[in-house]
Amino acid sequence: MSIRPALLIGILLVAGACGTTAPVQVTVIVTPYAESVHVARSIQFSATTSPTSAVAWSLSGAGCSGAACGTISNTGLYTAPQTVPSSPYVTVTATSLDDPGASGSATITIFPAIVARVTPFDPLVAIGSTQPFTATVENAIDDTRVTWTVTGPGGTGPEYGLIWTTGSYTAPPVVPADPVVTVTATSVEDPAISGSTPVTIHSSLISVEWTWMSGREIPGQAGVYGVKGLPDPSNVPGARQGAVTWTDPDGSLWLFGGWGLDKDGAYCPLNDLWKFDTAALEWTWVSGSDSVLQPDVHYGTKGVPDPLNLPGGRRGAQRSVDVRSRDPRMDVDLGKRPV
């Protein structure tokens, strides 16, 4: 017996009317599932849903809230905060808009910023010679390697020397017009981070012979001071021991104090400051007293510079160099005072 078409249609309609529609259940998977990132750096997350559904992104953490956890865009781009939270772990969550009970999440570990340093700092390198450098990379997540470059005022080029992947630098065969070049180590993990050092290239034509430049050949000579502030070929500091010396960026030699002879041949701690012009071969008495009596010693106000300030005589004083300006500075207060 056959069923008539009209009757079949009626049965299907009835069956359809009696059925119920099951609720849509969404699954959400966030990738990558676990990731590490440095402060202020970004990472892209994506959400895969089945069936297809739009998602809302959110952040949470045991050690942070709000912007302290970072930020995440509506496309899943996460940017870490400027500082590491008290707990460095942040959870990224994608929640289905069609099924608010369905979500997926990933865990982020936040690391401090990478720091790169190059040693040695500010070396002198003779033309054609080799200087090895070492890079230290702190707070790297996976990769502590660096790439090396050497640059000069005109950019890069063999006129500034060559540096190999090991950090070994070879100076050029001639001194560049500007003898200071920069050696840089750039983080492979984060190319925005680098460390660098200036390198001063000098001629290798260094004499191995002594030259008597100034002073007298007879020991125990008193100082010839001349007029303070005026260079004179007859000026010469008195014989002394325990003085502190340094050179300035112009190549002049400076001398301060020590235990020695004043203008009258009296032997005691001195507080005189001298400058020797290596081009003119002349001494200048710059500051201090020409006598061991030192009547002008003056401390002034602590922390306030004053042209009247003048330290007392001493020996064994120390000096330091400001590496930013390459300006030698003397700390005379570390010297030994007379007792």
Phi, psi of 66 (to 5 degrees): 60, -140
Read off the pLDDT of residues 207-240 as tens digits, 9 standing for 90 and up.
557 888 888 888 899 999 999 999 999 999 999 9
pLDDT digits (tens, 9 = 90+) for 87-120: 999 999 999 999 999 999 999 999 999 999 999 9
What six digits make up the tokens of 44? 């892209």
- pLDDT above 90 for 166: yes
Q: Domains of the chain by range and CATH? A: 27-111 (2.60.40.10), 115-202 (2.60.40.10), 240-334 (no CATH)
Mean pLDDT of all residues belonging to the chain: 87
Contact between residue 139 and residue 112 where contact means Cβ atoms under 8 Å apart: yes
Name residue, tokens 């008597």: 212
Confidence class for position 16, pLDDT limits 50, 70, 90: very low
Two tokens, residue 8: 């079949």
Q: Taking residues 236-265, what's their average pLDDT?
A: 91
The CA distance from 321 to 141, in Å, is 35
Contact 187, 114 (CB under 8 A): yes
Q: What distance in Å separates the CA atoms of residue 125 and residue 140, rounded to the nearest whole number?
A: 31
Calpha distance 272→235 (Å, rounded): 13
Alpha carbons within 13 angstroms on the beta-carbon side of residue 88 total 12
- For residue 200, the surrounding DSSP H or E stretch is strand 194-202
- List of E strands, 101-193: 103-111, 115-119, 124-126, 130-132, 134-138, 146-151, 162-163, 168-170, 180-187
Q: How far apart are CA 115 and CA 193, in angstroms?
A: 7
Check whether 146 has a pLDDT greater than 70: yes
Torsion, Cα of 138, 141, 142, 144 (10° steps): -10
Structure tokens at 100: 């608010």
Tokens of 127: 């033309």
**DSSP character for 296?**
T
Can you tell me the distance from the alpha carbon of 307 to that of 95, in angstroms, rounded to the nearest whole number? 71
Q: Output the pLDDT for position 18.
A: 46
The answer, as to whether pTM is greater than 0.85, is no
* Measured CA distances, 90 to 27, 57, 176 (Å): 22, 13, 51
Q: Are 262 and 214 in contact (CB under 8 A)?
A: no
Residue 251 or 290, more confident? 290
**Phi and psi, residue 87, nearest 5°:** -110, 120
pLDDT at 327 over 80: no
Exposed / middle / buried, residue 192 (Cβ in 10 Å: 0-12, 13-18, 19+):
exposed
**pLDDT mean over 50-77:** 96
Per-residue DSSP letters for 21-51?
PPPP--EEEEESSEEEEETT-EEE-EEEEES
First to last CA, the chain: 134
What pLDDT is stored for residue 8 in this prediction? Answer: 27
Q: What is the dihedral angle through the alpha carbons of 331, 332, 336, 338, rounded to the nearest 10 degrees? A: -160
pLDDT at 251: 84
Question: What's the one-letter identity of residue 158?
Answer: P
Q: Which residue has the tokens 């005691």?
A: 268
